[in-house]
Structure 1
């Protein structure tokens, strides 16, 4: 059956990230098209998870075509919420998904910085895709607060790949998520949040999970 594959990059990243380029090359060799929308949408300052969901939904093919979402970090969290509300998504591959994103990220900023962000409405955030700091609206935080993991209850075939040395989103977040959802398979890797040293392992896991043979 024809499938549509869409990759969602992480926060302050881009379709040119190392993971995105690696996957698009590997998919091309099969050959299968991997769609990678730019979730910055030319306006990182007004990024929200809701905007990402709307943007990716607009990329979906005809309703008869099942969609597999591959999401990295915040793209993984977005993918999971997209799948919860859209039955067209029939498979999820989540790479170090950002479950509990705000609870991990905001404490690192510190209460004083968060307060200033709330008052001034914008905070300078380092954007890895652009290689510079860009302002981000506080609306990002208020919007993200509504996307809680307890809402994710649709039994959709899900593979999570997470590094045991992840310093951004602790692997415990994925362990907790998988523990109460029998439809989720978690593979723990000897890596950090970037998963840069395990790209071959990730690809093998994706191929097996998505049943991508040489001739598909």
Structure 2
């Protein structure tokens, strides 16, 4: 499923939802409403991250960016949680020319590391070797998740973890405006990760908010102010 609202002829926002989310989420609805007022055209699609690898997702995102670059002069990206992880890796490895702004909402910088912390390394051993899928119940949502057997191997081989062992693996400066928004009550992605990232990488704005991982209280206001 996808959502496409061509309401602005110059600017389009491509949004990447979180790992266990889809285009039916509340953030998508807020962004869609904003786009309908003409601030930007809007596109989002179900990414199904768990059924594939980060490399494949990046290829899809690159095809979208290149395709929309034929129609729009300016592209913005936004990513929520794992969508932020994908967005950052896209900037790092693809360096898109038409993208100017990137909005990161409670971004994951270490999706693999956070998964290992939640599930436990013992349960992940065969998955880390690419020998089997990983199935578990996500603590925050209660959803049953099964992740592709090559998901972890792909991350390890390609170096997609933005933060690993306390080190930031990302250029200190890229030609994009980066906006980072993170809740101090986030119990899924530690806000310390965003603090570390913002201390090592040039960002346009970094806001710590009294909110949870979903930015339930502040997301709409952030969209109104920054997008």
Structure 2: tracts of 5 or more residues without a match: 1-8, 163-168
Asked whether the equivalents of residues 69 and 92 of structure 1 are also in contact (C-alpha less than 8 Å), the reply is yes
Pick the aligned partner of 1:139 from 117, 140, 150.
Answer: 150
Asked whether the equivalents of residues 8 and 76 of structure 1 are also in contact (C-alpha less than 8 Å), the reply is yes
Query: What is the Cα deviation at residue 81 of structure 1?
Result: 1.7
Distance 2:204 2:155 in 1: 23
Distance 1:62 1:114 in 2: 40
TM-score, length of structure 1 as denominator length = 0.83
Q: 1:125 to 1:25 in 2, by over 3 A?
A: farther
Q: Report Cα offsets for 1:7-32 as digits up to 9, x if no partner.
A: 00011211111111221122213353
RMSD between superposed Cα atoms in Å: 2.5
3-state SS in 2 of match to 1:183 = coil
Question: What residue number does 1:14 align with?
Answer: 22
* Structure 2 residue 214 is the aligned partner of structure 1 residue 194: yes
Q: Report Cα offsets for 1:174-205 as digits up to 9, x if no partner.
A: 11111122334201111111111212322133
Distance 1:97 1:49 in 2: 15
Question: What residue number does 1:159 align with?
Answer: 179
Q: 1:127 to 1:26 in 2, by over 3 A?
A: farther
Distance 1:152 1:73 in 2: 20
Quick one: higher RCO (CA 8 Å, sep 6+), 1 or 2?
A: 1
Structure 1: tracts of 5 or more residues without a match: 208-216
Distance 1:45 1:199 in 2: 25
TM-score, length of structure 2 as denominator length = 0.79
Distance 2:128 2:201 in 1: 35
3-state SS in 2 of match to 1:59 = helix
Distance 2:25 2:114 in 1: 22
Asked whether the equivalents of residues 74 and 100 of structure 2 are also in contact (C-alpha less than 8 Å), the reply is yes
* Structure 2 residue 37 is the aligned partner of structure 1 residue 32: no
Query: What is the Cα deviation at residue 2 of structure 1?
Result: 1.5
Distance 1:127 1:7 in 2: 23
Distance 1:37 1:169 in 2: 23
Pick the aligned partner of 1:185 from 194, 201, 205.
Answer: 205
